[in-house]
């Protein structure tokens, strides 16, 4: 199953791959070189298909849990001052996605979308300390009775050239459902209340819509 954001790119890739196979078959005489080029083109197609995959997740809907919004590795757990929306200290949990991870972004909690904003910006590597303030990004705030307001931020990386955000102010957020997509590598930051019990550790691998980041 593939994400709708990949349909156009996958179709174009198929056309390019078929064209390359025909050119290689007709104009490359050396057998070993044909095999090499066929392999390179095949690997390219597999990587594109893998990037846009959208596997079904078994989300257990629970208002006491904050689920990981994306697949990846936890790279930050720290108390920080959130400047854009809260303008106060929050617990930040950041998940880094490699190009091989699923890049669907999912709502971490149930609730109402209070805030959704896109920021154009740079394309620093996703783990750069200033990436959350200077890179292309979107900020979304969802509120429910258990956690109050939870902010998550999609951040473009050096390879990510487009962030897709479906969340609109006033929408009802359903935990684990699609809220966006980031094309080609990035990270997502979560900003939680200071009294939140964090359920993950640094370098832990997490799955979007399934792994419990925090609980009450």
Q: How far apart are CA 35 and CA 174, in angstroms?
A: 48
**E strand segments, 32-185:** 65-67, 72-82, 88-97, 104-106, 111-119, 137-144, 148-156, 162-165, 172-173, 178-183
Specify the pLDDT at position 68: 97
Regions in the chain scoring below 70 on pLDDT: 122-134, 158-161, 184-185
Specify the pLDDT at position 125: 62
Specify the pLDDT at position 10: 86
Specify the pLDDT at position 51: 77
Sheet holding 172-173, edge to edge: 172-173, 111-119, 137-144, 148-156, 186-192, 88-97, 72-82, 205-206
Q: Where are the alpha helices (DSSP H) in the chain?
A: 7-27, 31-51, 131-134
Specify the pLDDT at position 126: 57
pLDDT digit string, tens, across residues 112-129:
999 999 988 766 665 555
Asked about 201 being catalytic, the answer comes back as no
Specify the pLDDT at position 49: 84
Specify the pLDDT at position 89: 97
Specify the pLDDT at position 127: 58
Is 171 within 8 Å of 178 (Cβ atoms)?
no
Specify the pLDDT at position 136: 84
Q: Per this entry, what is the length of the chain?
A: 216
Helix pair angle (31-51, 7-27), 10° resolution: 180
Specify the pLDDT at position 37: 92
Specify the pLDDT at position 99: 78
Specify the pLDDT at position 98: 85
Specify the pLDDT at position 129: 59
Catalytic residue among 94, 116, 132, 186: 186
């Amino acid at each position: 199953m593939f994400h709708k954001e990949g349909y156009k790119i996958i179709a174009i890739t198929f056309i390019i791959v078929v064209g390359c196979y025909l050119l290689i078959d007709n104009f490359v005489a050396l057998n070993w070189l044909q095999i090499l080029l066929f392999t390179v083109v095949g690997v390219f197609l597999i990587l594109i298909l893998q990037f846009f995959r959208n596997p079904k997740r078994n989300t257990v809907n629970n208002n006491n849990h904050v689920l990981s919004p994306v697949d990846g590795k936890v790279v930050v757990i720290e108390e920080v001052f959130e400047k854009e929306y809260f303008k106060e200290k929050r617990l930040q949990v950041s998940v880094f996605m490699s190009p091989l991870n699923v890049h669907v972004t999912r709502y971490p909690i149930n609730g109402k979308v209070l805030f959704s904003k896109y920021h154009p910006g740079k394309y620093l590597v996703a783990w750069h300390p200033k990436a959350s303030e200077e890179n292309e990004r979107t900020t979304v705030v969802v509120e429910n009775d258990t956690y109050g307001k939870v902010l998550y931020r999609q951040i473009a990386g050096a390879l990510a050239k487009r962030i897709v955000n479906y969340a609109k102010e006033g929408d009802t957020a359903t935990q684990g459902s699609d809220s966006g997509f980031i094309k080609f590598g990035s990270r997502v930051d979560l900003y939680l209340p200071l009294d939140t019990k964090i359920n993950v550790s640094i370098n832990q691998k997490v799955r979007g819509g399934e792994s419990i980041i925090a609980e009450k």
